[in-house]
A and B are shown apart, each in its own frame.
Chain A
Amino acid sequence: MVPADQGGGVMRADLLAEPVAGLEEALDAVEAFDRVLVSGLLRPQPAQAAGLAELAGAVAGSPLASRVAEAAEKAAAGTAGEDHFVALAAARVALLGSVHDALTSQLDEATGRPRGEEAAPAPAERHAVNLLAAARSWLCDLARAGWQGIDHDVVSGAAQVVSAMLPDPAFRRLATVLDGFAAELAASCPGASLDQVPVRRWADLWSRAALLTVPGAAGVPAIGTATGRLLPLGVDLHEHATAAQAQVHAVFEPADGTAPRLVRATVSAPKPDTVVGVGVWQLLRPHMSLLTAVSEGRSVDLVDMPITAEGDLLWSDEHARPGEPADPFATARVALPTAVAPVTAPLDRHPARIAVPVFLEGYEVHTDDESLTFAVAGHALAVDTDRVPTAGPLTPEAVAASHACIGLVRWDAGAFRLQPLAVETTARKKTVAVHAGAWAGGTKDKAGVKAEKAATDAVAVLRERAGRLLRK
């Protein structure tokens, strides 16, 4: 028998291992700049001047050329102003954007999935610039101090900015990054005694935050509305000490009969650091009925839901109502292969942003010591089981025992990796599906119920304390 889906459904894993032209050179230039931030730009050394020049050289053929060249020169002399730091951040973001684009076209070839056309971005709203300026000034202090120079005084400068920004939805995006970044830096103080600096990671967070301080940069305006049927594929959870975000990947079938599209719906919430794991769902659940639909295995009917050019539904429950039951594995087998993938907004292009939904089956599972690999048509694809959240029933063991998998292809540490969102395994000769996001809308699972109850108690204690102690 011939497998039914030899067409668009089969991923060409072999293509994922192909080298990408120019990728190494781009990453070398990024790394040269990242090393500059380790010791900081207060009193730059000749080696740092070279690193800055390498970054400027890498964008010399782009519209950024002259501004970045000037910024590199000023920074090398120890006289960079805030605009210069932002220009350097922009050069770094642009280089990684080009890496993103190359990797994305490689992935498009591997999945055989069509990519949508780029939409002209709507002008974003511009907001009060004072807070943005305060955030930028903190980021510049960091760049001058360098990761080895950070101490509690420098790092705590973020707290006031973050507190002022968090309540305003327009600033939530920047505030959330700064908050997670500052907490990580605080836990690593003093920088002078750090054994290992997460050089690439902190430069990523620093440069993204610096760009978001440019008025209008953080906006994600809707460019239209979505009416039709939403078929969830799975839930990707993100979490730092004081924020959690759930992102539902789904196939959207427009009611007007146009081609199905890959979309996302997102909900995030600030949280106390003691609410973790399964506990975060109860903060997110009340604000997006889609999470309940995911747990119930249902589709959702959308009417006039705002959507961005990047395929992000800007969810509000009034535009959604529960639909018919829909099995994510049926969606993955039937609808996913032909769904059109959205084009990522220019500022958001970065290899870490790559999260492409795929469906795999008929792979061989290889396990050794710590790592898990799927051999897809003879080609190895590393499986990132550490990204399977503890907030759901999916486990690395279930992934290892699986024969079909819905996942996100990501790119990390120089290679493509698979983040499992759901798997099918066989138990007593029956196929059983296990979803990472199964508890998003609630659970009857014993361990899940217990963990939810603990989080509810924690929140209740904090609310009681807040009621007595806040605003006194």
Chain B
Amino acid sequence: MARVVPPARPRKLAKVPFVELADGRLQGVVSSGSDIERVYVSSVAAGTYAFACSTNNNRPCGGARGWFCNHIRALITEAVLQYGAERVTRYLRVDLGDEQPTAHTIADAMTATGPSEASSTAAASVFSRFLRHLAYLELAPSTLPVPEMQWFPPTRAVA
């Protein structure tokens, strides 16, 4: 009966409104610090750590040339807050050796392998997943019972 996925932990969303472990990547959306109309779509692939960062208008991020930019680092930090460091480590298949999993050690372990830049082809799908996520707020609540929610009890376990 118990749920397979523990609930996410609450975090502040101002800087990184969306982060998820999906499609074999850590991916999400980071708000630009200078332009409120602009967001960056960032991702790191599990296993290879191939990374990408571009704006929602598909312009490459200047900081992500050959190196994890600050957007990607912010994404890792928020993912650790939301899902817990262990789940992020496991999902990205990061080998930390004896080190404690933290956003910092995870990012360092990945950059130490010299990951390559991925093409930004994933950006469109990540951005559309973000928009889909936002659309949940616009859906009206319902008072029709959903008996199948009995399979999703609350749990005191945290991610």
Contacts and interface: CB of A to CB of B under 8 A. Distances in A.
Nearest to A196: B4
Contacts of B1: 201, 352, 412-413
Interface residues of B, number: 53
Interface of B: 1-5, 7-14, 17, 20-24, 31, 36-37, 39, 56, 82, 130-157
Given A240-B152, A277-B7, 10 more contacts: A172-B142, A177-B148, A201-B4, A243-B146, A245-B145, A269-B142, A270-B139, A273-B8, A314-B143, A466-B138
A379 interface: no
Interface of A: 152, 156, 159, 163, 166-167, 169, 172-173, 176-177, 180, 183-184, 186-189, 198, 201, 204-205, 208-209, 212, 220, 237-243, 245, 247, 264-277, 279, 283-284, 286-288, 312, 314-316, 348, 352-353, 355, 385-391, 396, 412-413, 419, 451, 454-455, 457-459, 461-463, 465-466, 468-470
B143 A316 contact: yes
Contacts of B24: 152, 189
Contacts of A176: 146, 148-149
The CB with the most chain A CB atoms within 10 A, among B13, B17, B157, is that of: B13
B154 A166 contact: no
Contact of A187 (B21, B37, B151): B21
A242 B151 contact: no
A245 B10 contact: no
B137 A459 contact: yes
A352 B153 CA distance: 10
Given A177-B148, A348-B147, A269 B23 contact: no
The CB with the most chain A CB atoms within 10 A, among B8, B141, B157, is that of: B141
B77 to A, nearest CB: 15
Contacts, number: 195
A462 B13 contact: yes
Chain B residues touching A, majority SS: loop
A266 B147 CA distance: 10
Contacts of B82: 274
20 contacts: A163-B135, A198-B4, A205-B148, A237-B154, A239-B154, A268-B141, A270-B139, A272-B134, A273-B8, A287-B142, A386-B2, A419-B153, A454-B12, A462-B137, A465-B31, A466-B135, A466-B138, A469-B130, A469-B131, A470-B131
